[in-house]
Amino acid sequence: MLNDIELKINQIEDIRELRQINQFVRNRRKAIGCKIKYKLSVGDNVTVSNGKSIDEGVIKKINRTRAVVYMRGGSWTVPFSMIRQIGDVDE
């Protein structure tokens, strides 16, 4: 599926269409983040993926758009779209 999307995007010649796609992707990312937010609770064991590595941590606080995760000896503010509950199969 991703290959098909990439091919279609490469066929686009209009910058306005690319901006619309970009806005759609941003909105979808926010929607997925909201879905993840309501599954999380303080104390949950989670993994955080930054695209290069995956770290394990514990949720310490849930804010409006991000969670505070204790990992690697410190607390980090992480967007919900980068967080997965350990054992969550709904990825």
60 domain-assigned: yes
Name 78's Cβ contacts closer than 8 Å, sequence gap at least 6: 48, 66, 67, 68, 69
- Residue 34 binned pLDDT confidence (cut-offs 50, 70, 90): confident
CATH number for the domain harbouring residue 62? 2.30.30.30
47 domain-assigned: yes
13 domain-assigned: yes
CB 55 within 8 A of CB 72: yes
Number of H helices, E strands in the chain: 2, 5
42 domain-assigned: yes
Integer CA distances (angstroms), 11 to 1, 15, 42, 88, in order? 16, 12, 45, 36
Q: What's the number of domains the chain is made of?
A: 1
91 domain-assigned: no
pLDDT value of position 2: 84
90 domain-assigned: no
Instruction: Provide the domain limits for residue 76.
Output: 2-85
CB 81 within 8 A of CB 91: no
> Does the model's pTM come out above 0.85?
no
**Is the pLDDT at 43 greater than 90, yes or no?**
yes
6 domain-assigned: yes
